[in-house]
A and B are shown apart, each in its own frame.
Chain A
Amino acid sequence: MNFYPEFEVVRNDSRCVRCRVCERQCANEVHWYDEDGKILLSDESKCVNCQRCVSLCPTRALKIVKSDCRLRENANYSDQTIKEIYRQAETGGVLLSSMGNPNPLPVYWDKILINASQVTNPPIDPLREPMETKVFLGKKPEKISRNEDGTLNTELPPQLSLTMPVMFSAMSYGSISYNAHASLARAAEKLGIYYNTGEGGLHEDFYRFGKNTIVQVASGRFGVHKDYLEAGAAIEIKMGQGAKPGIGGHLPGTKAVGDVSKTRMIPEGSDAISPAPHHDIYSIEDLRQLVFSLKEATEYRLPVIVKVAAVHNIAAIASGIARSGADIIAIDGFRGGTGAAPTRIRDNVGIPIELALAAVDKRLRDEGIRNNVSIVCGGSIRSASDVVKAIALGADACYVATAACLAMGCHLCRSCHTGKCNWGIATQRPDLVKRLNPEIGYKRLVNLMDAWRHEIKELMGGMGINSIEALRGNRLMLRGVGLTEKELEILGIGHAGE
């Protein structure tokens, strides 16, 4: 079924100098030059509104606008809903989307407000006074113990040390490009934080960033071997992902080429299928077995992270994980991004990270096992204030990926699954990959995190708090606005004015 394209390419011909940069830059082949008429033409049905041509047009002759040619308005059957039905009627296929859930579901961060000190307790000026944003992730001892000679026992389980409570979350080599990984790895090293390999193995060039790398083990075990496990600073077991809880991953054979196939250690052109479950995990006891097999293989030198999607019984699940021997729990909320996920799952499965995080932190405290694990939360952490709110709700640190992609040039066109990312991030096409210069990509990531660190300090200083430790789980610093009593109860915060 043909329908009018979603976007229109508006070209101001009086400004167009026929440089044809739009034509060269568009991997979707929207633009072409008509030699006879000496004019640039476009097929907007191929346009994904990634803004590459707009951004590179030297005379600002181009803009992409949303088409106003819509199907007849219907609040129940939206334009999108109807077109999805057409697509499925035509192909019989499962709808596939990319990046995080774009639907107008509640964003609790935007309904939570942060406190500031006035009169009775002074705010702190972070420009003048020391502020501690360093955090350590890992199991903390329950009590202080002493050696036989009376000195303090200072031996700790393995910890990750972060200069600020933010890390780059898992994006596999395969879902994103070599240059994107190079940018993330360099930035993590420069910033003193960590990036995450995702389930695609670790490219041989990036072993040198090992001390700032978290290596992932997922159900497909792609690229997992002894050297890989030992290459990183921590091992993450991926049980679930916020964008697609309950299902696995699937890198199509068309993307398993060249270095991607080599890094995943699978033949070229073969589908890389990560099954939905880990087939050896049916219980917390089984999870414990995988945690300890990894610890045994790496001689207990590395913390083990267990990453789960935020789902309905997340507090009970987290309680189990905290007893499994894992050092860190990563919880991924339902707005988290993805390189490809079935639309229906991405948009309908899972729960918001804010509620999941608050519920988990409370449950672990109530059960007296909060010290067993650190909590990392992800799933659309968009700004420094989201980070501060997450820490105050009980997180030790946050995972960010979409924001990191944006820093590298992503324009959130949500077309990663096509493999034709014009910004060189979610693609393996060499001509597109080289558009992302890791030298620039890494600097932009460092800039973003530097800016966030300053903002985190400003927000903390305003509350009269000079260390992340004193902010963690400090829900008195938060108030809700426009939330129901039940929502406030789960978040464990008062309403504004209380």
Chain B
Amino acid sequence: MEMDVSQLGFQELNNELRASADENITLKGCIGQRFIGAGMSGKNISIYGIAGNALGAYLNGSVIESFGNAQDAVGDTMNEGRIIVHGNIGDAAGYAMRGGKIFVQGDAGYRAGIHMKEYQEKVPVMVIGGKAGSFLGEYQAGGNIIVLGLNQDERAIVSNFPCYGMHGGKLFLRSECEGIHFPHQVSHRPATSEELQEIRVHVEEYCQYFGGSADEIMNAAFTIVTPDGKNPYKQMYVAN
């Protein structure tokens, strides 16, 4: 099913999505409507235009593919499914996501993957093709965040203060990370070939959506960042 949504508010838009018996839905003329696909499962939603804030919030198994930039809070508290963005995304993408995958062709804003979690078989993945803004992986508690830095601008692969408060999961940066300052409670080192093998499947999926060669992308230095412990604040208190 194809819908022109340029005249619809977010509430009407989501009502149409929920009401649609069709599994595959294409939205044309998207003009920044928020909450597209919130909490939905079992749909394949393609978006042309610009998706607004909180795209796929609480997503529960649907696949959302945006052929344009997306704004803030992509995949907020997402549980399952895929969000694929052919463009850049705004701030706080994947806030507290617990499952599913987010693929971004271009750059991410501040706080990508903040408080990302994992639980048993649910291990979320976020792949950012370009560069990431400040506070990447803040409070990260699980899952994999992968930044490829494929665009050619001069910026570092990640801006200031990555991994502050990180206490779980893994963060991969396709860079040697010289000059990037990490906080004291995490360790960073060159990723081993076994570790790279683990994320190869995600990079291959990235290439499937956006083109490029996984072999070429993987043929570079990666830095892996992991927390030193899962109880970072344990020593801070004294019972009174």
**Partner among A252, A280, A418 whose Cβ is within 8 Å of the Cβ of B234:** A252
Are B96's CB and A224's CB within 8 A? yes
Among the listed stretches A51-59, A292-300, A369-377, A469-477, which one makes contact with chain B, having 4 or more residues with CB under 8 Å of it?
Answer: A292-300
Is B107 close to A, CB under 8 A? no
Is A265 close to B, CB under 8 A? yes
Are A271's CB and B39's CB within 8 A? no
CB-CB contacts below 8 Å: B90-132 with A: 91-92, 95-96, 98, 111, 114-115, 117-119, 122
Question: For A343, what are the chain B residues with a Cβ–Cβ distance below 8 Å?
Answer: 240
Is B236 close to A, CB under 8 A? yes
Is A88 close to B, CB under 8 A? yes
Are B96's CB and A220's CB within 8 A? yes
Among the listed stretches B20-28, B136-144, B145-153, B193-201, which one makes contact with chain A, having 4 or more residues with CB under 8 Å of it?
Answer: B136-144
Are A273's CB and B168's CB within 8 A? no
Name the distance in Å between A104's Cβ and chain B's nearest Cβ: 18
Is A279 close to B, CB under 8 A? yes
Is A79 close to B, CB under 8 A? no
CB-CB contacts below 8 Å: A242-300 with B: 250, 252-253, 265-267, 269-271, 273, 275, 279-280, 289, 292-293, 296-300
**Partner among A84, A226, A273 whose Cβ is within 8 Å of the Cβ of B141:** A273
Is A96 close to B, CB under 8 A? yes
Are B95's CB and A289's CB within 8 A? no
Are A275's CB and B237's CB within 8 A? no
Are A250's CB and B167's CB within 8 A? no
Are A225's CB and B58's CB within 8 A? yes
Is B53 close to A, CB under 8 A? yes
Are B114's CB and A292's CB within 8 A? no
Name the distance in Å between B40's Cβ and chain A's nearest Cβ: 9
Are A265's CB and B117's CB within 8 A? yes
Are A91's CB and B96's CB within 8 A? no
Question: For B96, what are the chain A residues with a Cβ–Cβ distance below 8 Å?
Answer: 220-221, 224
Interface size on B, residues (CB 8 A): 49
Are A273's CB and B165's CB within 8 A? yes
Question: For A84, what are the chain B residues with a Cβ–Cβ distance below 8 Å?
Answer: 240
Question: For A224, what are the chain B residues with a Cβ–Cβ distance below 8 Å?
Answer: 58, 77, 96
Instruction: Known contacts A93-B238, A95-B240; decide if A296 and B10 are in contact (CB<8 Å).
Output: yes
How many angstroms from the CA of A417 to the CA of B115 in the assembled complex?
24
Are B39's CB and A297's CB within 8 A? yes
Is A351 close to B, CB under 8 A? no
Is A111 close to B, CB under 8 A? no
How many angstroms from the CA of A96 to the CA of B239 in the assembled complex?
5
Smallest CB gap from A417: residue in B? B239
Question: For A296, what are the chain B residues with a Cβ–Cβ distance below 8 Å?
Answer: 10-11, 14, 35, 38-39, 57
Is B34 close to A, CB under 8 A? yes
Is A229 close to B, CB under 8 A? yes
Are B11's CB and A271's CB within 8 A? no
Are B167's CB and A270's CB within 8 A? yes
Question: For A94, what are the chain B residues with a Cβ–Cβ distance below 8 Å?
Answer: 236-238
Are A418's CB and B239's CB within 8 A? yes
Instruction: Known contacts A226-B39, A279-B92; decide if A293 and B115 are in contact (CB<8 Å).
Output: no
Is A466 close to B, CB under 8 A? no
**Partner among A93, A219, A271, A297 whose Cβ is within 8 Å of the Cβ of B230:** A271
Question: For A93, what are the chain B residues with a Cβ–Cβ distance below 8 Å?
Answer: 235-238
Question: For B91, what are the chain A residues with a Cβ–Cβ distance below 8 Å?
Answer: 280
How many angstroms from the CA of A273 to the CA of B115 in the assembled complex?
9
**Partner among B58, B168, B236, B238 whose Cβ is within 8 Å of the Cβ of A293:** B58
Question: For B168, what are the chain A residues with a Cβ–Cβ distance below 8 Å?
Answer: 267, 270
Question: For A95, what are the chain B residues with a Cβ–Cβ distance below 8 Å?
Answer: 237-238, 240
Are B233's CB and A225's CB within 8 A? no
How many angstroms from the CA of A292 to the CA of B76 in the assembled complex?
13
Is B189 close to A, CB under 8 A? no
Smallest CB gap from A344: residue in B? B240
How many angstroms from the CA of A87 to the CA of B239 in the assembled complex?
9
Instruction: Known contacts A253-B234, A271-B231, A289-B54; decide if A87 and B240 are in contact (CB<8 Å).
Output: yes
Are A266's CB and B141's CB within 8 A? yes
Question: For B122, what are the chain A residues with a Cβ–Cβ distance below 8 Å?
Answer: 265
How many angstroms from the CA of A298 to the CA of B239 in the assembled complex?
41
Is B66 close to A, CB under 8 A? no
Name the distance in Å between B150's Cβ and chain A's nearest Cβ: 26
Are A225's CB and B95's CB within 8 A? no
Is B232 close to A, CB under 8 A? yes
Question: For A97, what are the chain B residues with a Cβ–Cβ distance below 8 Å?
Answer: 240
Name the distance in Å between A287's Cβ and chain B's nearest Cβ: 13
Is B155 close to A, CB under 8 A? no
Question: For A293, what are the chain B residues with a Cβ–Cβ distance below 8 Å?
Answer: 34-35, 38, 54, 57-58, 73, 76
Smallest CB gap from B35: residue in A? A296
Question: For A87, what are the chain B residues with a Cβ–Cβ distance below 8 Å?
Answer: 238, 240
- Interface readout for A410-441 with B: 1 if CB under 8 Å, 0 if not? 00000101100000000000000000000000
How many angstroms from the CA of A252 to the CA of B79 in the assembled complex?
24
How many angstroms from the CA of A91 to the CA of B141 in the assembled complex?
27
Are B34's CB and A292's CB within 8 A? yes
- Interface readout for A292-332 with B: 1 if CB under 8 Å, 0 if not? 11001111100000000000000000000000000000000
Give me the 6 closest cross-chain CB pairs, A-B, nearest first. Answer: A93-B238, A297-B39, A221-B96, A296-B38, A95-B240, A296-B35
Pick 16 A–B contacts, CB within 8 A, sort by A. A93-B237, A95-B240, A221-B115, A252-B231, A252-B234, A265-B98, A266-B141, A267-B230, A273-B139, A273-B233, A279-B111, A289-B54, A292-B10, A293-B58, A297-B57, A417-B237
User: With contacts A226-B58, A270-B141, A271-B234 known, what are 16 further pairs, Cβ within 8 A?
Assistant: A84-B240, A224-B58, A225-B98, A267-B168, A269-B230, A279-B92, A279-B95, A279-B114, A280-B95, A292-B34, A293-B38, A293-B58, A296-B14, A296-B35, A297-B38, A343-B240
